[in-house]
Structures are given as structure tokens and as C-alpha cells.
Amino acid sequence: MTGIIADTLALLGLAILTIGVYGVMRMPDVYTQLHAASKAGFLGIAALLAAAAVQGDGAIIARAVLIVALLSVTTPVAAHAVGRAAHRRGEPMRSSGAVDES
Amino acid sequence: MSGIVFYVAVVWLAVLLGVVVIRLARAGSIGERILALDLLTLVLIGLLAVAAGEDQRSYALDAALALALLSFVATLAAARYYESRKPFS
């Protein structure tokens, strides 16, 4: 039973991570790419770590929880730093209908 | 997880790593390059998580934890350096 849950979570994580990488490939500018990389990337990693923790012993569960908690704090901060740096250096917004409200 | 899913996951994540490396080499601007580098370490953490889940290898998750911490500091330093030409100001 736990094997089926682990398989499902692993395939789900792969699908979400693939969506994130595909978004980074396809989005026109860095501001829209940040959405794909930070949100889909973190969710995919969380699902893969959950797949490892379902069948794992205490050591694996503790490390997986620690990594998910750490990434949930650090990923938005890193994405915000990259977006702010790109905006301060005047990188253009190429998506259609984009309005710079700053 | 079962064997076939493990092999599919490893091969698929390796393909994703290659795609992100190509994206890193062909990025349009420096911001996109920093972002691609961040995503590269994220995919690598996923690969280490799959390796840890296969055979109860908890030391792979130690490496993933260190990689997550290092990639956060590296992304932050690179972004701040790109923003103001000084890493900490």
C-alpha cells in the first residue's frame, strides 16, 4: 500500500517539476519565469521528498521534513531577490500586456 | 517505490538536468541565468531525494540538505551582486 502511495507521489513530483522546467523554457521574461521556477519547482521537490519519506525510516522522514521546511522559507526569498535585481537593472517585461507599476 | 518507477524517475530527472543546463547556457539575460542555476540545484535535490527513497539511503538527503542551503546562499549572493555590483550592501 505504501508502495503505491510512494509511486504516485514520485510520478506527481516528476510531473510538477517538468511543468516548472517547461515554464522556464517557454516564458518570455525573467519575471514570468520566476513563477514557474519557484512555485512549481518547490512543489515538485516536496512531492518527491514525500515519496521518499512514505517508505523511509525515521532518519529519512526527519531529513525530508527539514528540507521541505527549509525550502519553503528560502525559495520565496531567493525568487524575490532575483526579481528585484532584474527590475533594478532594468530587464524588460516581454509578456504581452505587462505593466510596470513601480 | 517500485523498480520501474525508480528508473523512470532517475532517467527523467537526468533529462530535466540536461534541459536546464542547455537553458543555463542559452539564457537571454543575467537574471534568467541566475534563475536557471537555482532551478538546476532544485532538480538535483529531487534526484537525491529519489536516490534516498530507493534503498533507505539517508545520507543522500544529508547531501540534499547541504545543497539546498548552499544554493540559497549562492542565489542570494549572485542576485545581490547583479543588483548593486556589491554582494552585501
Q: In whole angstroms, how large is the CA radius of gyration of chain B?
A: 15
Domains: count for chain A: 1
Q: Which domain holds residue A10?
A: 2-88
pTM of the predicted protein model: 0.91
B75 at A interface, C-beta within 8 A: yes
pLDDT tens string A28-54: 999 999 999 999 999 999 999 999 999
Per-residue pLDDT at B56: 85
Residues above pLDDT 90, as percent of chain B: 76
Domain annotation covers residue A98: no
Which residues, in sequence order, are CB contacts of B43 under 8 Å at separation 6+? Answer: A17, A21, A41, B13, B16, B17, B20
**Residue A18 has which C-alpha cell?**
517538468
Domain annotation covers residue A93: no
Domain annotation covers residue A56: yes
User: ipTM score of the complex?
Assistant: 0.90
Domain annotation covers residue A19: yes
Q: In Å, what is the CA distance from A10 to each residue of A52, A64, A88, B54, B59?
A: 8, 14, 38, 11, 19
Q: How distant is the alpha carbon of residue A40 from its chain centre?
A: 4
Binding-face residues of B in 33-72 toward A, CB within 8 A: 34-36, 38-39, 42-43, 45-46, 49-50, 52-53, 56, 58, 61-62, 64-65, 68-69, 72
Per-residue pLDDT at B2: 78
The chain-wide mean pLDDT, for chain A, equals 92
